[in-house]
Amino acid sequence: MFTTAISVILGTVVSTLIPIVWVKLAGGTVMIAYGLREAKGLIGQRAIEEEERKLESTKGALRAFLGMFIALAILDLAGDATMILTIILAAQYSDRVLVFTATCVGLIGATAFETALGNRLGRMLTPNRLRYIAVVVFVALGSLIIITSL
């Protein structure tokens, strides 16, 4: 939630300095670039694999929880798609509390869905195929943001 609050504040500041269309174009471009870099395997693949190995070898729910919490917090602080989208939404809408609340609830719901989906897909697809799906999603979302902002 800390990074969500930072994203909302950053979106508020950005919206006063830069027209929303440019914020959306930049956000869409960053998402496409993120997808393309992911396609090349340049974003955190080694770190993710290392964390997965650590989690597999750890015993106890608390250690697994703390490991995932720390890994996700670091990745989130480094900037990911949710942070970019939160900045775009905060720049677009004037009700900052609503953006913050909706983003937090959305992240919780998405995490629950992703956990269930990942559990199922992990049994059917290889990690590389999942990465290709992620690339398509990032490029599609980035393209959609750019197209709708023009």
CB atoms within 10 A of CB 118: 12
The domain spans of the chain are: 2-43+82-149
Q: For the segment 102-133, what is each residue's pLDDT rounded down to a tens digit? A: 888 888 887 888 788 878 877 887 777 777 88
The CA-based diameter of the chain, rounded to the nearest angstrom, is 51
Task: Report, as an integer, the average pLDDT of 89-109.
Answer: 86
**Could you write out the DSSP letters of every residue in 56-90?**
HH--SHHHHHHHHHHHHHHHHHH--HHHHHHHHHH
pLDDT of residue 143: 92
Q: For the segment 5-57, what is each residue's pLDDT rounded down to a tens digit? A: 877 887 778 778 888 788 788 878 888 887 887 777 655 566 666 666 665 66
Q: Which of 72-76, 128-132, 135-139 has the lowest mean pLDDT?
A: 72-76
pLDDT of residue 121: 79
